[in-house]
Amino acid sequence: MVRQQREEEKRGLREAIAVEAKRLGFEVASFVSAHKLPTERAYQEWLREGRHGSMHYLEKYQPLRVDPAKMEPGTRSVVVMLTNYHQPLDLLEGGLRIARYAHGDDYHDQIWDRMRELAAFIHAETGTEVATRPAVDTAPLLERDLARVAGLGWVGKNAMLIRQGLGSYTFISEILIGIDLGEEVEEAPQRCGSCTRCLDACPTGAIVAPRMIDARRCISYLTIELRGPIPRRLRPLVGDHLFGCDVCQEVCPWNRAAPISDDKSHKTRPVYQQLRPIDLLDFDHDRYVEVFRKSAMKRAKLRGLKRNAAVVVGNTGRLGDVDRLLEALSTEPEPLVRGHVAWAIGRLGTRDHRFRLERALVDEEEPFVRSELSWAMEELTGR
């Protein structure tokens, strides 16, 4: 009798939390006991193969990543939530192609505020001090695995969490709590079947096997996480992607009917609409702060966005853009950006532009930039 009463109390509390989560803007919430995840070996193998590229922070805190109970002392269960960020298009009028999750305000700030409210609600509902810790890709947790175990969807062949009726354009967030709210949840069945659209469509072949991403080839990694030069052989494959890539999600059949988010914080910022990739090459720090204030795009830093812009212009620009590129080559203080600008000139220019590169090479001291200038001159000579 006592056990049944406790289960009813837990069920009532879960229902109350789920209703409050919905009110705060989360699409759905689920509850799972804080147990060790079954994917530890696969994750360690992925790291050993070096598929995480230069994201060395993923090598840290491995015991915590697979066990939420170790993440926060006293954790007994996890509330796992999804937030819809889906926007109609990633390619904007001016030519910026931005992953949909970065069109609006920084999702960390928005979701953190909502999770704090939800955590406060849990405190109030339980009538006791409950240890809580909110996280949204800010803690060393394998969030997609947590969401899968919580029954919120399955991990598709593109390694994205997919929920039937919602798709994969979602943020995953968690609240680790010190009371037992876990419930027996049936995991969603794997519904990808024989479909390989995401593997076939990936521009760089980064999906090397179902649910296996080689970050070193992924456009999202190359344009956001990578701090150095984008490998020259991969630059043409980046195409017009300035920040991130949604291709594997765009081709997924489960996203055909994915609802558009009505959350104003996720809507595309008007300032992005008319901005052209080549315009970013003129940005200084003040303009960067003005345009990208409280934006997830700041993750790439100013020099990363300008590097990416040079690659996009080199892939999609016209001969008339070369003068702007040459100006950037002579005024840009960052060697990383200058090198990619030189590459873009080599892609778009003519033999008549070679002498300008020769002059730049005389004054250039950075080995990386000199290498890119030499490559560009060879390209223009052949042309």
User: Is the residue at 182 inside a domain?
Assistant: no
Inside any domain, residue 192: no
The verdict on 170 and 309 lying in the same domain is: no
CB-based contacts of 176: which residues, under 8 Å, 6+ apart? 34, 68, 71, 72, 75, 78, 131, 132, 133, 134, 135
Query: Is the distance from CB of 20 to CB of 121 less than 8 angstroms?
Result: yes
Tell me: do 170 and 281 sit in the same domain: no
State whether 15 and 159 are in the same domain.
Answer: yes
Does a structural domain hold residue 225?
Answer: no
Q: Where does a domain end: 123, 144, 177?
A: 177
**Residue 333 is assigned to a structural domain of this protein:** yes
Backbone phi, psi, residue 253, to 5°: -60, -30
Tell whether 237 is covered by a domain. no
Q: Quick one: pLDDT at residue 80?
A: 96
137 is catalytic: yes
Judgement on whether residues 173 and 281 belong to the same structural domain of the protein: no
Indicate whether 222 belongs to any domain.
Answer: no
CB of 100 within 8 A of CB of 85? yes
Which of 134, 152, 177 is at the close of a domain?
177
**Whether residue 26 sits in one domain with residue 170:** yes
Q: Are residues 164 and 285 in the same domain?
A: no
Note whether 165 and 308 are same-domain residues.
no
CA-wise closest residue to 360 among 349, 348, 347, 374? 374
Give the total number of structural domains in the chain: 2
Q: What is the pLDDT along the chain (383 residues), one digit of tens a residue?
A: 667 777 788 889 999 999 999 999 999 999 999 988 988 899 999 999 999 999 999 999 988 898 998 988 888 999 999 999 999 999 999 999 999 999 999 999 999 999 999 999 998 888 766 667 788 888 889 999 999 999 999 999 999 999 999 999 999 999 999 888 877 788 889 999 999 999 999 999 999 999 999 999 999 999 999 999 999 999 999 999 999 999 999 999 999 999 999 999 999 999 999 999 999 999 999 999 999 999 999 999 999 999 999 999 999 999 999 999 999 999 999 999 999 999 999 999 999 999 999 999 999 999 999 999 999 999 999 87
Whether 224 maps to a domain, the answer reads: no
Using CA of residue 161, residue 167, residue 173, residue 179, what is the dihedral sign? negative
CA 364, CA 338: separation in Å to the nearest integer?
Answer: 10
Give yes or no: residues 163 and 292 share one domain: no
Can you give the residue range of the structural domain that contains 6?
2-85+100-177
Judge if 171 and 298 occupy the same domain: no
The pLDDT of residue 128 is 64
Q: In this structure, how many other beta carbons lie within 10 angstroms of the beta carbon of residue 355? A: 11
Same domain, 167 and 20: yes
Domain end call among 127, 151, 177: 177
Same domain, 18 and 151: yes
Tokens representing residue 291 in the block: 């345009």
User: 285 and 151 share a domain?
Assistant: no
pTM summary value: 0.94
| Structure confidence at residue 133 (pLDDT) | 77
CA distance 173 to 151: 14
What number of other Cβ atoms are within 10 A of residue 171's Cβ?
A: 20
Rounded to whole angstroms, how far apart are CA atoms 295 and 291? Answer: 9
Asked if the structure places residue 253 within a domain, the reply is no
Where does 245-353 have alpha helices with state H?
Answer: 247-250, 270-273, 285-292, 301-316, 322-331, 335-348
**Per annotation, catalytic residue among 109, 137, 200, 284:** 137
Q: What is the pLDDT of residue 126?
A: 83
